[in-house]
Structure 1
Amino acid sequence: MYLQHFGLVEAPFSLTPNTGFFFGLAPHVEALQVLQTALQTGEGFIKVTGEVGTGKTLICRKLLNDIPKRFHCAYLPNPYLTPDELRWAVALELGLKYSASIDQQQLTSLIQQQLIALSAHGHSIVLVLDEAQALPDESLEALRLFTNLETESRKLLQVVLFAQPELDERLRLNKFRQLRQRITFSYQLRPLTRPETNAYLSHRLQIAGYKGQPLFSLADSKRIAKAARGIPRLINILSHKALLLAFGEGLSVVSPHHVRAAINDTEDAEPIWGAKPWWLGAIGVASILSIVVWRWIVGGVA
């Protein structure tokens, strides 16, 4: 709605992970460096964990986009699968053609043969799972058994897990000690600092085509960083709402009251000191958003 108003060519704070907006912030760069180093070793499990909204899926997509061609990647974005479903999904990702009538032992044998064939052609095979905390216990064990597939000199399959911290809690259980010991590299994503948040806002606006004076003051970016607890997804939500409110008032920059209203209107944001009750903030946002919609409909604003 506000793209033309601010001179933007695309939405700067979309919640969809878009590698075109990737910014070389320390936690994300460090995570990618750990992944790249670990993949070069060719052994075991690799794990990246982080709270909801810290950028795990973005890093996952960045890894898949930039991984060298010698790697053959099998990607499972939704691993809430039984052990049998997990094997079928891996087989499909490896390009296997099979009959649905074969049993699990035969399927495992076919997967091993395919891994050996790919390895013989110079491929390193990597299984990447996003949202890995959703894996049932039995499927975690099936995943561990996949890494038993090996030649005399190397593992046939590496596994990269992207997960919320709940996976770490589960892996501390005694029944997962064998899997835990196979995790050779791990990294835990941290929230963004306030200076990183300010740089993050500027970067996304620049990528989206903005060329004017800063839309967010340093003080407002600090407010957003604090309220969002440094979580990129919340930073995007708050920034998007603040831009909507500025647009609704016909202003060219974001003001502190826009940021406060956006914070008050967002359930998971940390209220700022002296903020109004959440329901007053919500009323303010709802009122201005109705103006935004009206302007968009009447004026045909992009």
Structure 2
Amino acid sequence: MYKDFFGLGEKPFSLTPDTQFFVNKQSHRDALNTMLISLKHCEGFIKVVGEVGTGKTLLCRKLLSSLDKRFITSYIPNPYLTPDELKAFVAHEIRAEYTESMPAHQLMVSIYRRLLQLARHGRQVVLVIDEAQAMPRETIEALRLLTNLETEKRKLLQIVLLGQPELDTLLSRSDLRQLKQRIVFSEYLQPFTAKGVAHYIRHRLQAAEGNPETFSPLAMWMIAKASRGIPRLINVMSHKALLVAYGRGEKTVSTFHAAKAIADTEESSRLGKLLALRWHLMWPAVGGLSAMLMIALPHWWGGIV
């Protein structure tokens, strides 16, 4: 579509969680560092919470790609499993002896023996669960029992839970307090600030072999306000803005293109839609004003959040 027009090697704002586009800034950096340090020190449970679209799955993929060969990792993208399905999944992933007819207690013994064997060879098993807020209560309890498998020195199985804020609500239940007490580290993914959004857009353009200055500063500010700093919405709006610019044969994404993209995005904030509407109506008369803002913007950019 617009890749050749903008000199891009690939689409910079795809919704696919590609680690090439991971932005190691702000709370995403803190969450990644916390997980890496915790796992290397065998700290048990780790929890990362973030609103829809804040990049939890991409963070999860980045974590998995950052761990060295000492770790045996297993990723569960959809945790809506029964307790038996969870234990069978873990047994399969670590290559423990398992048959469908195996009694539950025997399966636990098999998993424990395999974990001990791996530990003796210096291997550490990490189970990463995405969308953990969807996990049934009984399955969470089975997960807690799995983490009881340990030696005198270390945990044999470490768990990373990533989920929406509903995960905190779930773990606040009195019957799950034992698991909640085992969570050693927690992180909360925050939306990007306006500066963070500008860095995010430039980074993704550069990672896609494009010009990081393709978007004007004011266009990025508008997208920041309309997206509320949520990465998924930034991607959607930026992609649409590039399409609008491409359709008009213009190499720079301006406020006009951003306004069109924002107006076309249902999840835009009220402020974003208001900005888009006003900018669209004012467009024929804003040429001079836009130029003045472009000159003034660097001086007050730091004050925008």
Residue 154 (structure 1) shift? 1.6
Residue 225 (structure 1) shift? 0.7
Superposed CA deviations along residues 128-167 of structure 1, whole A, max 9, x for unmatched, are 1111111001111110111111112221111111111110
- Counterpart residue identity of residue 4, structure 2: Q
- Counterpart residue identity of residue 54, structure 1: T
Residue 40 (structure 1) shift? 2.5
Matches of 1:72 and 1:193, distance apart in 2: 35
TM-score (norm 2): 0.87
* Residue 218 (structure 1) aligned with residue 214 (structure 2): no
- Counterpart residue identity of residue 223, structure 2: I
Moved over 4 A (4+): none
Q: Is the 8 A contact 2:97 2:111 kept in 1?
A: no
Q: Specify the SS of the correspondent of 2:140.
A: helix
Residue 179 (structure 1) shift? 0.7
Residue 74 (structure 1) shift? 1.9
Residue 95 (structure 1) shift? 2.1
Shifted more, 37-46 versus 220-229: the winner is 37-46
Q: Is the 8 A contact 1:75 1:93 kept in 2?
A: no
Per the alignment, residue 261 of structure 2 pairs with 262
Per the alignment, residue 241 of structure 1 pairs with 240
Alignment of 1:199-214 (within 5 A): 199-211=199-211, 214=213
Matches of 2:180 and 2:23, distance apart in 1: 31
Residue 266 (structure 1) shift? 0.9
Shifted more, 181-190 versus 106-115: the winner is 106-115
TM-score (norm 1): 0.88
Per the alignment, residue 293 of structure 1 pairs with none
Per the alignment, residue 172 of structure 2 pairs with 172
Superposed CA deviations along residues 206-253 of structure 1, whole A, max 9, x for unmatched, are 111113x72211111111011111001100000000000111111111
Residue 276 (structure 1) shift? 3.5
Residue 117 (structure 1) shift? 0.7
- Counterpart residue identity of residue 188, structure 2: Q
Q: Is the 8 A contact 1:45 1:183 kept in 2?
A: yes
- Counterpart residue identity of residue 241, structure 1: K
- Counterpart residue identity of residue 159, structure 1: I
Residue 168 (structure 1) shift? 0.5
Matches of 1:241 and 1:274, distance apart in 2: 16
Per the alignment, residue 185 of structure 2 pairs with 185
Superposed CA deviations along residues 79-118 of structure 1, whole A, max 9, x for unmatched, are 1101111111111111235322212222111111111110
Alignment of 1:141-152 (within 5 A): 141-152=141-152
Matches of 1:203 and 1:109, distance apart in 2: 48
Identity, in percent, stands at: 54
Matches of 1:95 and 1:247, distance apart in 2: 51
- Counterpart residue identity of residue 205, structure 2: L
Q: Specify the SS of the correspondent of 1:158.
A: strand
| Structure 1 spans left out of the alignment, 5+ residues | 281-302
Count of matched residue positions in the alignment of Structure 1 and Structure 2: 277
| Structure 2 spans left out of the alignment, 5+ residues | 282-305
* Residue 119 (structure 1) aligned with residue 119 (structure 2): yes
Per the alignment, residue 159 of structure 1 pairs with 159
Residue 70 (structure 1) shift? 1.3
Per the alignment, residue 276 of structure 1 pairs with 277
Alignment of 1:41-60 (within 5 A): 41-60=41-60
Matches of 1:114 and 1:274, distance apart in 2: 59
Quick one: structure 1 residues 85 and 3, their matched pair in 2 at CA, closer, same or farther if it must change by over 3 Å? same
Q: Is the 8 A contact 2:222 2:275 kept in 1?
A: no
Per the alignment, residue 250 of structure 2 pairs with 251
- Counterpart residue identity of residue 139, structure 2: S
RCO higher in structure (CA 8 A, sep ≥6): 1
Per the alignment, residue 230 of structure 1 pairs with 229
Shifted more, 219-228 versus 268-277: the winner is 268-277
Q: Specify the SS of the correspondent of 1:100.
A: coil
